[in-house]
Amino acid sequence: MKKIGLFYASSTGNTEDMATEIKESLSDLDITMHDVAQSASDEMTKYDALIIGVSTWGDGDLQDDWEDYIVNLDDAQLSGKTIALFGLGDQEEYPDHFLSAMGTIYEKVVSLGANVVGSFSTDGFEFDESTAVVDGMFVGLALDEDNQDDLSSQRIKSWCDSIRPHFA
């Protein structure tokens, strides 16, 4: 069984809550959670596959801990590694940058040779622009705890079912 690292950062607790729910939904897999604020720079190298969670702040910015940690991806040996992304954002307050931090992480891991799985439909979201949309789909699970928290659990379940074969 693959060893999977679930890396996230959380300022308000929402991303951590979603990471926990994802881990629970994939309880049949060997997943270890890591808050990047407390993770060693080489922690990602210990895993066969990764799930990465990031929230978007302001005008498309990475959450503060990811802002500091993203440089560690350069040495994380991501080439050929399977990675799934999930992102949190506020589509009403920031429609021009919805989930763009997930787009930033996506661009970085793809440039390092990672195989990203788990695209997610844009249906049901109302936003103007996002760097997290590629070929008409989000590059990972899209969540909006500010405006659509009632949909998060079903979105997580559906997405986890879709990525499970890539991690089993």
* Total structural domains within the chain: 1
Between the CA of residue 138 and those of 20, 29, 75, 107, what are the distances in Å?
Answer: 21, 24, 26, 13
Q: Per-residue confidence of the chain (168 residues) as pLDDT tens digits?
A: 799 999 999 999 999 999 999 999 999 999 999 999 999 999 999 999 999 999 999 999 999 999 999 999 999 999 999 999 999 999 999 999 999 999 999 999 999 999 999 999 999 999 999 999 999 999 999 999 999 999 999 999 999 999 999 998
User: Which residues span the domain enclosing 154?
Assistant: 3-167
Give the pLDDT of residue 158. 98
* Contact between 122 and 142 (Cβ < 8 Å): yes
* pTM, two decimal places: 0.97
Joined together, the tokens standing for residue 136 give: 């008409």
**Buried/exposed 72-98: b ≥16 CB within 10 Å, e otherwise:** bbeebbbeebbbbbbbbbbbeebeebb
Per-residue pLDDT, 1: 78
Residue 109 structure tokens: 């891991």
Distance CA 101, CA 89 (A): 9
Burial of 102 by CB count in 10 Å (0-12 exposed, 13-18 middle, 19+ buried)?
buried
104 by Cβ neighbours in 10 Å (0-12 / 13-18 / 19+) ranks as buried
Output the domain CATH number for residue 25. 3.40.50.360
